[in-house]
Structure 1
């Protein structure tokens, strides 16, 4: 079973965390089901950038993002080569190391 390793984030996960994850689960769902409150303003339908994450290790094990995700990522704060939307990054058979960016472009936090 692959692991998702979340690097420390000052507010959401100060000490970092490691979770086992089922294949076919999104990075966002792993975070949310384990108490890491990554924003997800569009309710996981690839219509915003609030669940933007950086896949520091294991990026190549993910399917490529589709055109819609790529268009959304163009609007994300702190976009990098290894950026993905957490709702679209589906875990396969390899471990992932995930960094949660410090900021999002969400103007209002809905408190999910």
Structure 2
């Protein structure tokens, strides 16, 4: 008994200054990564648009993180630029992996 009356799409674009900030970080030797709860396709598209994801940069999702031990993540984390569909527990695992590789995380 329902009648379709329309379809709505929403977008939450990055702020205009984000591209410049990422570029300045890269020039200063700072690696910038995206850690988000967004879908992998959405996160990848945004990262590419912002210049955050280099040609050989990897994308990892929460399911992949679940399958990796902390030691395995430590081995690959430096090649990953986008973490998508992650939980707060995943974020802690990611930050710890960077710290175990000797990185300062902010």
Higher relative contact order (CA 8 A, sep 6+): 1
Query: Which structure has the highest helix share of the two?
Result: 2
- Common fold: TM-score over 0.5: no
Which protein is bigger by CA-based radius of gyration? 2
TM-score by length of 1: 0.30
Higher fraction of strand: 1
